Amino acid sequence: MAAEPRRTESGLPVEPVYGPEALRGWDPAERLGEPGAYPYTRGVYPSMYTGRPWTMRQYAGFGTAAESNARYRQLIAGGGTGLSVAFDLPTQMGYDSDAALAAGEVGKVGVAVDSVEDMAVLFGGIPLDGVSTSMTINAPAALLLLLYQLVGESQGVAPARLTGTVQNDVLKEYIARGTYIFPPKPSLRLVADVFRYCRAEIPRWNTISISGYHMAEAGADPAQEIAFTLANGIEYVRTALAAGMAVDDFAPRLSFFFVSRTTLLEEVAKFRAARRIWARVMREEFGARDPRSQMLRFHTQTAGVQLTAQQPEVNLVRVSVQALAAVLGGTQSLHTNSFDEAIALPTEKAARLALRTQQVLAYETDVTATVDPFAGSYAVERMTDEVEALALGLMRRVEELGGAVAAIEQGHQKAEIERTAYRVQQETDDGRRTVVGVNRFRLDAEEPYRPLRVDPAAEARQAARLAALRAGRDRRAVDRALGALRRAAAGTDNVLPPMKEALAARATVGEVCDALREVWGTYEPVERF
């Protein structure tokens, strides 16, 4: 009886040997092009890393703004070239640190930011015109971006000199992550308002990072990850066009965010397929003429869901392979997870080792010496075509359901991802899928490990800061600004200018989000699984 063929994470068969027949009838000019040229299969820039390496970001944030600021300074001193901010759950959900629903969660999975004063502490001593900052924040993304702008202005940095990315991808929150606040339609309006505002005020800022990472962490396979992410991207483009913007006015500032798993060959194929699909969608469906509008530029993070609490040092190997896959796939920036993240927040040493992993790849290997080293590989080119075809089929199904928002409202993407996650867990449980240290190659007793712990008193200190802020501000100015924000939200004006006025008057993140909740309401999910 013949053995079952090995399959990729997306369920595609992997052949033991690939030869010329794998690419029979294959046109290199159509499928590949040149690096930096349509359809960007080989990368979005002609020289890629031969001129300079990717941006090395480390995702960090915990406890109070002062504690996170100290970690950022360490990462910059250690050679990091970009910051990536993790916010705690109350901030992500638009609640102040002293709200009843925030109890026990302040500073736990990211930094607590309640006001412009916290943001000023978070970036104290870090000139904002000298660093590129990515902020992983979605439903209240506009607020955190404006707080960042206000801190830059206080440093004397003109908004036009600020560079970075705000994730601002609320659609994937309904699909996979759950940190949504408002229903989809007003959330999309807020996204479009950010596009318009940044074009006028912060032109070098990436206004959205359309994320497949969190869908992958929830269980999506590679084809589902890029299909549902690109379908969301199409929805954002349609939203901006419906708001009266021209495609080449906003599309060059769109960016993406993907995971990188240990299945190196399929991951490389996934990244190449995603670039090709997006280039064709932007040119053929939306008529984009600016080459920058057709480029899929993306940040990558190594796969946190593949890290294990058992034998955590083995995660160093996993992260190295995942980082190599991202680099060979042509990422523009990269975050490498720390080996202890399956246990707790990363220690300083673990975060430094994660950064060193990127630096070894950039400066001690030859992967930066040539552009797209897998081009023409029988195996990778065949996998690229197969992942592309599978993803396009999934995207067509989303379109048949009425587009990304309509499919979300029917629970489609969420149910598909949950089915995949369930299958993977079954394969792990019954041993068909090997996870080193978990279901094979185990130790009789794990070695002790001392994780980083957030000071439990941080929540009380943050509440005290809020009380002092409220006592020292002009309450009438705050009320006037929040009233103007409610009126803008109820009408059609861009909500960011009155939102900025409210934040500048020391309104808190929770107060601003509450004002929008009053007008827009909140979202209740649909369950189909």
pLDDT tens by residue, 473-502: 999 999 999 999 999 999 999 999 999 999
**Does the structure show a pLDDT above 80 at 143?**
yes
Q: What is the DSSP string of 374-410?
A: TTT-HHHHHHHHHHHHHHHHHHHHHHHTTSHHHHHHT
% of residues, the chain, pLDDT over 70 = 99
Rounded mean pLDDT, 134-161 = 97
Q: What is the DSSP string of 126-139?
A: --TTS-EEEEE--T
CB under 8 Å to 38, separation ≥6 — which residues?
279, 283, 291, 294
Is residue 414 within 8 Å of residue 220, measured between CB atoms? no
Paired strand residues for 135: 85, 166
Closest C-alpha among 414, 165, 392, 401 to residue 285: 392
Residue type (1 letter), 383: M
**Does the structure show a pLDDT above 80 at 4?**
no
For residue 151, give the 3-state DSSP assignment: helix
Residues in the chain: 529
Instruction: Dump pLDDT digits (tens) for 272-308.
Output: 999 999 999 999 999 999 999 999 999 999 999 999 9
Residue 3 pLDDT level (bands cut at 50, 70, 90): low
Q: CA 156 to CA 134: how far, in whole Å?
A: 20
- The structure tokens 């996650």 sit at 421
Q: CA 224 to CA 419: how far, in whole Å?
A: 11
pLDDT for the residue 450: 83
pLDDT for the residue 2: 56
> First and final CA of the chain: distance in angstroms?
35
Q: Which range among 89-93, 114-118, 450-454 shows the weakest confidence by mean pLDDT?
A: 450-454
**Does the structure show a pLDDT above 80 at 15?**
yes
pLDDT for the residue 501: 98
% of residues, the chain, pLDDT over 90 = 89
Average pLDDT value for the chain: 95
CB under 8 Å to 424, separation ≥6 — which residues?
219, 433
SS (H, E, C) 28-69: HHHHCCCCCCCCCCCCCCCCHHHCCCCEEEEEECCCCHHHHH
DSSP-H helix ranges across 175-330:
184-201, 213-218, 222-242, 247-250, 264-280, 291-294, 315-328
Instruction: Dump pLDDT digits (tens) for 317-374.
Output: 999 999 999 999 999 999 999 999 999 888 889 999 999 999 999 999 999 999 999 9
Rounded mean pLDDT, 248-270 = 97
Question: Counting beta carbons within 10 angstroms of the beta carbon of residue 75, is it exposed (0 to 12), middle (13 to 18) or buried (19 or more)?
Answer: buried
At residue 97's C-alpha, the angle toward residues 91 and 99, to 5°, is 105
Q: CA 254 to CA 332: how far, in whole Å?
A: 13
Q: Walk across the sheet containing 254-260 and list its strands.
A: 205-206, 163-166, 132-136, 82-86, 55-60, 333-335, 298-302, 254-260, 208-211
Instruction: Dump pLDDT digits (tens) for 208-242.
Output: 999 999 999 999 999 999 999 999 999 999 999 99
- In 446-480, which positions are buried (b, 16+ CB within 10 angstroms) versus exposed (e)? eeeeeebebeeebbebbbebbeebbeebeeeebee
Closest C-alpha among 207, 335, 187 to residue 179: 187
Positive or negative, the CA dihedral 406, 411, 414, 415 is: negative
Structure-token pair, residue 431 = 């041993």
Q: CA 187 to CA 219: how far, in whole Å?
A: 24
pLDDT for the residue 526: 67
- The structure tokens 């004002």 sit at 515
pLDDT for the residue 60: 83
Closest C-alpha among 471, 470, 477, 474 to residue 510: 470
What is the phi/psi pair of residue 117, to 5°?
A: -70, -40
Neighbours of 80 (CB within 10 A): 23
**Does the structure show a pLDDT above 70 at 529?**
no
Neighbours of 24 (CB within 10 A): 7
For residue 150, give the 3-state DSSP assignment: helix
Q: Please, what are the domains in the chain?
A: 20-43+53-429 (3.20.20.240)
Residue 142 pLDDT level (bands cut at 50, 70, 90): very high
Q: CA 418 to CA 411: how far, in whole Å?
A: 11
**Does the structure show a pLDDT above 70 at 8?**
yes
Secondary structure letter of residue 7 according to DSSP: B
Structure-token pair, residue 382 = 């065949």
Instruction: Dump pLDDT digits (tens) for 396-418.
Output: 999 999 999 999 999 999 999 99
